[in-house]
C-alpha cells in the first residue's frame, strides 16, 4: 500500500443542507451568511470533541472522530444549537442540516483526507436522515449504547446507492419515541421508491390442501413485482410472519416500512378458482384498487404465472397513479427526486403540449438532482420521443435526443426496461426495425409485466407485416394494463393489424374503443378512418375523416413519412416496403383523404 495512505478505524460524520439550491435561488447572500454561521457551529463542536474537519466544500461537512461517542455527541450538539440559532427564521428560509454517522475502516492521508466505503456509507446515511435529524449505522448505535444519552428508532436495513450490501440504519429520536436497541422496528422508514408489501393470500376454500396454492400466488407476485425497477417490494420473510394474524393495515404498514399493502384471497371450487386482491394505502387504510380473477384450475403452475403477471401489469399503473395523485398536492419545493418524477408522470400522460413541457421539466429536474436515478432519464427520453410522434413538439432532432437519453439511462442501469423501450421505438421509427425488435424483446424479457414493451414490440412487428404476432403483443399489453394511459395506442395498433389481416369488423370495434379513450391522439382516429374506408362505408368514413382533419389538418402520407423516418432510404428496406403501410393508406384514400400532392405509399 502507498506509504501516504494509512488504514484506520474512524467514526465519520457527513452532513449537508436540506434544500440548499432552493435557498440559494431565493436569497444567495442570506444563504451564504447562514452557511458560514452554521459552519462555525460544526467546527466548534467537532473540535471540542477532538474531531477533525476533513472538508467543508459547498454545503457539505465531513469530519472524523476517534470514537463513535464523540461523533454522536458532536452531531447532537450541532443539531440542537442550529435549531435554536435559526428558530426565529421563517421555515422556508431556515437552514437545516441532515447528518449521517458511521464507524468503519477508512484510508487516511497525513493531511487528514479520508477515503473508502466508510465515508460513502456515512454520506448515504445522511440522505436517510430527517431534516434537522441524525441517522446512524448499526455500528455507531451499538458502540454508543449505554455510553451516550441518545435514543434511536430502528429504520431497518436500507439499500443505498453504490453500496453492494444493505446498511442497517437507526434514526435519532427523543426518549419517548425510542425503541429498545435491536428490537424489531415498529416504524421502519419507507425507502425512496414507493414500497409494497404483498401479504399472504387467505385460503377461503374448505380444502386445507389449497394453502400451498394461496401461498404460491403471493410468492409469485413478490417475485414478479420485484422485477419492477421503480418499486421496493418487501421480502417474503417479512410479510409471511403475519400469516393468519389480524393486524390493522396502518400498523402493519408502519411495521414493514410499506406505503402500500396488497392483500388477497383464494377460493377453489371443483375445477374453478377465484382469486381476489386489493391494494390499500397503508397511510390511511383506504382502498386504491381491487380486482377479481376467475380461472379454470387445469394447470396450476401456468395459472400461477398468468395471475402473477396479470396482477403485476395491472398493479403498476394503479400504484403509479396513486403516487402521482399523492405528490400532485404537495408544494414543489418539498419534492424529492421520486416525487419530482411522479409529478412529471402525472403531467406526461395528459398528452398535450403544455403538460408534456412541464413533464419534461420535472423529469430533467429529477435526473439532474440524481443522475443515478435511471427512470427519470428514461422518461425524459420518452418525452422527447412521444412529443415528436404525437406532434406536440416538432423538433427534427427529437429522435436523436431520445436515443441519446435512453442510452444514458442504460449506461446507469442496463436493466432499465423503459430505456430499452424508447431505444426500440426510436430504432423502429427511423427504419431500423430489426434493431428495434431486438431492443423491445429485451424490454419484455427484463420486465414481463411491462405492458408498454409488449405494445412497442407489436408495433414493430407490424412494420414487418407480421400482423398476427403484432395482434398478440397488443392484446397482451391490453390484458396486462387494462386502464393504461396508453391503452388507446395498444388498441389502435391492434386494430390496424386486424385490418391488415382482413378482420375488418373486429378491427372496427377495437378502433372505436381506441378513439373513445380520453387520451387518444389523432393516430387513433386515423386507424378508424382507414378501417371504415376498407369497409366501404363512405358516410361514416367521411365523418371520421373530418374528425381526424380537425385534430390534425396536415395529416398526409408526407406527415407519416416524416414521423416514421421514411423521408430518406432507411437502413432496413423492409420497413419502407411494408404492405401494412400501403394497406393503411389505401383505406384512408378510400375514406376521402386527398391523394393530390401527397407522396405515394411505399411499394
- Tell me the sheet residues that pair with 265: 202, 276
pLDDT at site 525: 95
* % of the chain exceeding 70 in pLDDT: 84
470-480 average pLDDT score: 89
Mean pLDDT of 481-491: 86
- Domain positions in the chain are 6-177, 195-327, 334-448, 483-603
Half-sphere exposure of 227 (CA within 13 A, CB side): 19
What is the chain's Cα-based Rg? 28
334-448 CATH fold: 1.25.40
SS3 assignment, position 162:
coil
pLDDT digits (tens, 9 = 90+) for 517-540: 888 889 999 999 999 999 999 999
What number is the average pLDDT over the span 416-423?
94
Residue 100 pLDDT more than 70?
Answer: yes
Read off the pLDDT of each residue in 297-303 and give the average, rounded to a whole number.
Answer: 67
**Using CA atoms in the order 388, 391, 393, 394, what is the torsion angle rounded to 10 degrees?**
80
The C-alpha atoms of residue 474 and residue 543 are separated, in whole angstroms, by 27
CATH for 6-177 is: 3.30.70.1230
Strands 114-115 and 151-158: unpaired
Q: Which of 196-200, 315-319, 511-515 has the lowest average pLDDT? A: 315-319
What would the pLDDT profile of 160-191 be if each residue is shown by its tens digit?
Answer: 666 767 788 888 864 433 443 433 333 344 44
What's the rounded Cα separation, in Å, for the pair 586 and 603? 12
Using alpha carbons, select from 92, 30, 21, 26 the residue that is nearest to residue 58: 21
- Report residue 231's pLDDT band, with 50, 70 and 90 as the boundaries: confident
Give tens-digit pLDDT for 342-360: 888 888 877 678 888 899 9
pLDDT at 292: 85
CB 225 within 8 A of CB 295: no
Q: How confident is the model at residue 567 (pLDDT cuts 50, 70, 90)?
A: very low
Tell me which architecture the domain covering 195-327 has in CATH.
Answer: 3-Layer(aba) Sandwich (3.40)
Handedness of CA 214, 215, 217, 218 (dihedral sign): positive
- CA 461 – CA 480 distance, rounded (Å): 19
272-281 and 287-296: which strand pairing? Answer: antiparallel
pLDDT of residue 597: 43
Q: How far is it, in rounded angstroms, from Cα 521 to Cα 24?
A: 41
pTM, two decimals, is: 0.58
Most distant CA atoms of the chain, gap in Å:
89
Same fold, 6-177 and 195-327: no
CATH number, domain 483-603: 1.25.40
Mean pLDDT of 13-34: 89
Q: Binning pLDDT at 50, 70 and 90, where does residue 334 land?
A: low
Chain mean pLDDT for the chain? 82
The mean-pLDDT minimum among 160-174, 251-265, 275-289, 473-487 falls in: 160-174
Band of pLDDT at residue 237, cut at 50, 70 and 90:
low
In 3-state terms, the chain is what percent helix, strand and coil (to 5)? 55, 15, 30
Average pLDDT (289-294) is 83
Amino acid at each position: 500500500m502507498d506509504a501516504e495512505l494509512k488504514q484506520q478505524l474512524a467514526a465519520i460524520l457527513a452532513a449537508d443542507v436540506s434544500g440548499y439550491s432552493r435557498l440559494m435561488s431565493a436569497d444567495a447572500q442570506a444563504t451564504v451568511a447562514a452557511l458560514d454561521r452554521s459552519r462555525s457551529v460544526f467546527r466548534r463542536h467537532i473540535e471540542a470533541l477532538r474531531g477533525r474537519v476533513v472538508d467543508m466544500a459547498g454545503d457539505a461537512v465531513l469530519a472524523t472522530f476517534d470514537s463513535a461517542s464523540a461523533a454522536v455527541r458532536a452531531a447532537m450538539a450541532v443539531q440542537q444549537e442550529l435549531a435554536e440559532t435559526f428558530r426565529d427564521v421563517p421555515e422556508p428560509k431556515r437552514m437545516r442540516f441532515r447528518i449521517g454517522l458511521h464507524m468503519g475502516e477508512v484510508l487516511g492521508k497525513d493531511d487528514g483526507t479520508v477515503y473508502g466505503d466508510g465515508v460513502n456509507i456515512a454520506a448515504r446515511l445522511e440522505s436517510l436522515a430527517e431534516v434537522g435529524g441524525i441517522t446512524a449505522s448499526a455500528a455507531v448505535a451499538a458502540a454508543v449504547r449505554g455510553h451516550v444519552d441518545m435514543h434511536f428508532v430502528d429504520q431497518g436495513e436500507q439499500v443505498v446507492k453504490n453500496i453492494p450490501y444493505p446498511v442497517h440504519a437507526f434514526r435519532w429520536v427523543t426518549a419517548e419515541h425510542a425503541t429498545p436497541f435491536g428490537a424489531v422496528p415498529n416504524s421502519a422508514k419507507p425507502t425512496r421508491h414507493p414500497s409494497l408489501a404483498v401479504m399472504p393470500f387467505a385460503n377461503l376454500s374448505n380444502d386445507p390442501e389449497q394453502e400451498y396454492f394461496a401461498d404460491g400466488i403471493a410468492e409469485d407476485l413478490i417475485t414478479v413485482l420485484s422485477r419492477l425497477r421503480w418499486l421496493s417490494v418487501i421480502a417474503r420473510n417479512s410479510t409471511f410472519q403475519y400469516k393468519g394474524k389480524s393486524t390493522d393495515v396502518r400498523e402493519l404498514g408502519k411495521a414493514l416500512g410499506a406505503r402500500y399493502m396488497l392483500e388477497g384471497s383464494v377460493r377453489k371450487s371443483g375445477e374453478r378458482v377465484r382469486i381476489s386482491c386489493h391494494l390499500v394505502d397503508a397511510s390511511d387504510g383506504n382502498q386504491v384498487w381491487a380486482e377479481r380473477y376467475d380461472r379454470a384450475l387445469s394447470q396450476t403452475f401456468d395459472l400461477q404465472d398468468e395471475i402473477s403477471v396479470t396482477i403485476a401489469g395491472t398493479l403498476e399503473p394503479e400504484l403509479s397513479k396513486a403516487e402521482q395523485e399523492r405528490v400532485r398536492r404537495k408544494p414543489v419545493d418539498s419534492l424529492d427526486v421520486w416525487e419530482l418524477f411522479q409529478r412529471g408522470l402525472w403531467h406526461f400522460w395528459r398528452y398535450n403540449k403544455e403538460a408534456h413541457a412541464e413533464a419534461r421539466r420535472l423529469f430533467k429536474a429529477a435526473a439532474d438532482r440524481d443522475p443515478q436515478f435511471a427512470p427519470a432519464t428514461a422518461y425524459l427520453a420518452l418525452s422527447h420521443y412521444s412529443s415528436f410522434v404525437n406532434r406536440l413538439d416538432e423538433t427534427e432532432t427529437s429522435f436523436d435526443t431520445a436515443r441519446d437519453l435512453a442510452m444514458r439511462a442504460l449506461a446507469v442501469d442496463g436493466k432499465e426496461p423503459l430505456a430499452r423501450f424508447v431505444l426500440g421505438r426510436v430504432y423502429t421509427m427511423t427504419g431500423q426495425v430489426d434493431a428495434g425488435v431486438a431492443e423491445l424483446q429485451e424490454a419484455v424479457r427484463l420486465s414481463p409485466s411491462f405492458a408498454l414493451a409488449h405494445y412497442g414490440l407489436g408495433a414493430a412487428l407490424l412494420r414487418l407485416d407480421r400482423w398476427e404476432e403484432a395482434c398478440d403483443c397488443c392484446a397482451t399489453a391490453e390484458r396486462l394494463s387494462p386502464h393504461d394511459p396508453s391503452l388507446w395506442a395498444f388498441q389502435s395498433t391492434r386494430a390496424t393489424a386486424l385490418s391488415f389481416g382482413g378482420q375488418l369488423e373486429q378491427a372496427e370495434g377495437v378502433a372505436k374503443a381506441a378513439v373513445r379513450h380520453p387520451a387518444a391522439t389523432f393516430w387513433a382516429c386515423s386507424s378508424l378512418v382507414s378501417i371504415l374506408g376498407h369497409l366501404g362505408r363512405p358516410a361514416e368514413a367521411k365523418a371520421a375523416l373530418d374528425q381526424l382533419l380537425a385534430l390534425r389538418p396536415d395529416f398526409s402520407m408526407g406527415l407519416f413519412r416524416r414521423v416514421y423516418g421514411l423521408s430518406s432510404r432507411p437502413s432496413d428496406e423492409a420497413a419502407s416496403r411494408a404492405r401494412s403501410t400501403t394497406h393503411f393508406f389505401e383505406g384512408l384514400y378510400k375514406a376521402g383523404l386527398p391523394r393530390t400532392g401527397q407522396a405515394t405509399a411505399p411499394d
